[in-house]
Amino acid sequence: MGKYSTHLYGCKKQLQSSLILSKEGAMKIVKMKEVPKEPAASPLFTGPDVTRQPLLTDSKDLRVNIVNFGKGLKNKFHSHDGDQVLIITAGKGFVATEKEKKLVTVGEVVLFPAGEKHWHGATSDSDFSHIVITKAGVKMTQLED
């Protein structure tokens, strides 16, 4: 093999290795509007008009869903044993802890640190949706009936 042939052979081997890696951990793109809404009936919610859309079901490390609340619906006080991130995608809602309650709208991002008692949900005059992100395996504890 000549100087350039050896170099090309090495590049080919490196490219093949990269292709194998990308097949094992392939990028995934999800169009949120194409993910069907599923009922999210749970004692955690104050009413039945709540749905969820699982966005990244193949992730080993993260749980990523859209949660959609009908007007005036929220979840009850709860906490998680890991951080929770909300990205507001539609409507107006409230996020609250034992110490404060804040109005949030589209484009805002909320962090609830692990262990913080909180709730979130729609205002009385608006539906409300957010993306929720937690690490896989994070446990939620409902703190009120």
Q: Three-state SS across the chain?
A: CCHHHHHHHHHHHHHHHHHHHHHHCCCCCCCHHHCCCEECCCCCECCCCEEEEECCCCCCCEEEEEEEECCCCEECCEEECCCEEEEEEEEEEEEEECCCEEEEECCCEEEECCCCCEEEEECCCCCEEEEEEEECCCCEEECCC
- Residue 124 domain-assigned (yes or no): yes
- Asked whether residue 54 carries a pLDDT value surpassing 80, the answer given is yes
> How many structural domains compose the chain?
1
Indicate whether 100 pLDDT > 90. Answer: yes
- Residue 5 pLDDT level (bands cut at 50, 70, 90): very low
In the predicted model, is pLDDT for residue 23 greater than 50? no
| Any domain includes 6 | no
DSSP β-ladder status, 78-80 and 140-142:
antiparallel
User: Which residues constitute the domain of residue 53?
Assistant: 32-142
Tell me what pLDDT residue 24 has.
56
Q: Average pLDDT, stretch 64-86?
A: 98
Q: Has residue 11 been placed in a domain?
A: no
Confirm whether 20 is domain-assigned.
no
User: Is residue 26, in this structure, part of any structural domain at all?
Assistant: no
Q: Is 108 inside a domain boundary?
A: yes
In this structure, is residue 119 part of a structural domain? Answer: yes
pLDDT of residue 31: 95
In a domain, 123, yes or no: yes
- Whether 11 has a pLDDT exceeding 70, the answer reads no
Instruction: Give the CATH number for residue 99.
Output: 2.60.120.10
